[in-house]
């Protein structure tokens, strides 16, 4: 029997990626530089989204998006029990309570009927996960009339049944760029959204409350 380890992922890093990293390192501007908004705009355009905000990880994106839609102390967020622990941890980080509803046995995604049954007067948001890149049934969740934060960390390139890309429906949607993802920056993530006010808030809170002009938001 072979003892060879099979890695979780083998990121493909070639000469163009190496050159791009070197150019940034040599620029002297390693944080919030000019390449960041270009990356955000290209990413949003790829998904047909209005706005995108780059963050330090998919988990950070979940924190910021949940906070931006109003999740806070004592609230409940209905989500999937079949996901990486970051999905639920982000809810706990906001001092809210993750409420697990059952998954669909075929898609392995959060079941809309089970999610609806789990909603209470304390439910502030729904957090469906596009597990393994397979799109969750967003129209069914949207029919419940609650804010939705999409965990799309594994779903870059996924498409819904109508052909629209995952992350392009306007709900805050979070993508991860960890080493095992379709697109990797080593660490990193992106939040895409329709609402410009959410974009402003997430851009601020990812940088200690600063505004785009490096002042401070009220």
pLDDT of 176-203, one tens digit each? 999 999 999 999 999 999 999 999 999 9
Taking only the tens place, the pLDDT of each residue in 139-162 is 999 999 999 999 999 999 999 999
> Given this model, what pLDDT does residue 91 score?
98
Side by side, which strands form the sheet with 76-79?
97-100, 76-79, 123-127
Phi, psi torsion values for 159, nearest 5 degrees: -130, 145
Place of tokens 């906001």: 94
State the Cα–Cα distance between residues 153 and 76, nearest whole angstrom. Answer: 21
Return mean pLDDT, the chain: 94
Report whether pLDDT(35) > 80.
yes
Third-level CATH fold of 49-205: 3.40.640
Q: Is the dihedral of CA 163, 192, 144, 134 positive or negative?
A: positive
Give the pTM.
0.92
pLDDT on residue 202 = 96
Contact 58, 191 (CB under 8 A): no
Residues marked active site are found at 181
Q: What is the pLDDT of residues 45-100, one digit of tens each?
A: 999 999 999 999 999 999 999 999 999 999 999 999 999 999 999 999 999 999 99
């Amino acid at each position: 029997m072979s003892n060879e380890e099979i890695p979780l992922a083998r990121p493909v890093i070639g000469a163009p990626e190496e050159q791009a990293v070197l150019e940034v390192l040599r620029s002297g501007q390693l944080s919030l530089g000019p390449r960041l908004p270009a990356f955000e705009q290209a990413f949003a355009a790829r998904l047909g989204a209005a706005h995108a905000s780059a963050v330090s990880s998919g988990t950070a994106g979940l924190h910021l998006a949940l906070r931006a839609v109003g999740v806070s102390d004592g609230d409940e967020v209905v989500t999937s029990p079949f996901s990486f622990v970051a999905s639920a941890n982000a809810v706990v980080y906001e001092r809210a309570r993750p409420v697990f509803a059952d998954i669909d046995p075929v898609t392995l995604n959060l079941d809309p009927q089970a999610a609806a049954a789990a909603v209470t007067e304390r439910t502030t948001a729904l957090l469906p996960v596009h597990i393994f890149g397979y799109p969750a049934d967003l129209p069914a969740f949207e029919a419940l009339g609650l804010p939705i934060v999409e965990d799309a960390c594994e779903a870059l390139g996924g498409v819904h049944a109508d052909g629209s890309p995952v992350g392009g429906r306007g709900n805050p949607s979070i993508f991860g760029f960890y080493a095992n993802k379709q697109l990797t920056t080593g660490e990193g993530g992106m939040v895409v959204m329709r609402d410009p006010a959410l974009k402003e808030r997430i851009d601020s809170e990812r940088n200690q409350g600063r505004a785009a002009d490096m002042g401070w938001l009220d």
